[in-house]
Structure 1
């Protein structure tokens, strides 16, 4: 998938998520998301930090002791943005190709695809993930898992999509729609209910 298509998917997902968030009552923002220990508001605030600069990221890294997960969570929790500001920030990103330092366009694609489902699934909002974009994001998760694992171990698992001609890996077979394979590879336990095979290998 070329860069223009990737950015088109990112814009579409950001815009759609902004629409979902704009219509939420205040109590819905406190709903637990699929991302463990994060509320809908926390996830949305994290996505609203997609254009954070190097200085802002460095400050968060220092506060967290340079622990990646702690840094990401701390930044979202500390974000002063209100609900309307988060929505406006997401809408404002549409059309921009800016990324945080040292990442490609595949990282914001992965981020917005997974986190949109983190929000939509518990809120029972039906927002299917584009299959071609899900495959690109899946391949990025696998790329990262070989360098800096941040989710379940994927080295001895064969992932097989049932809605598109795609498979990767070697070992215990897990199959299902690309959307749920991506969410499982990203550590979302809810995805296991939508997959078949040796799903326990993803725990």
Structure 2
């Protein structure tokens, strides 16, 4: 049986992949996440997912399957990364307040010389946020390691009025598309296992 490695240390991605019933190991992919000139957000997030998977694949056998993923929040064509400080977090949240934005999550699977990837786009609408809400949210510590300065699965879930697309993709790993992509490499989720009885 082929082994599976998740190219991530993200507890959220680990929990989502485990939810599907796969057995896997986790290894962090140490890559440069800087944006390239003239790169669209879609190209950026897909490139990072592919580079993460390839980084781990370079040290594995050709039978090992590696899953890489990356998520970014996009508003007005700009990628909102992880906030470096309180002011950047407040700027991000002010840009998202009372508006819709896109969350792009890319997944990439590598096995030997074969690589496949896709980008899932989800629209998220925030309610109007007060300065007090934004500041108090920063003080919880939750935004500090989150793209776009928020985590939909946490305290910031109360900011979300509407979501169009994949909730799990916003959290960090689109469940439907991940099972489809891994199945193309011969790995089935718990529900896809054939009945031997």
TM over 0.5: no
* Structure that is richer in helix per residue: 1
TM-score, normalised relative to structure 1:
0.33
Compare relative contact order (CA 8 Å, sep 6+) and give the higher one, 1 or 2. Answer: 2
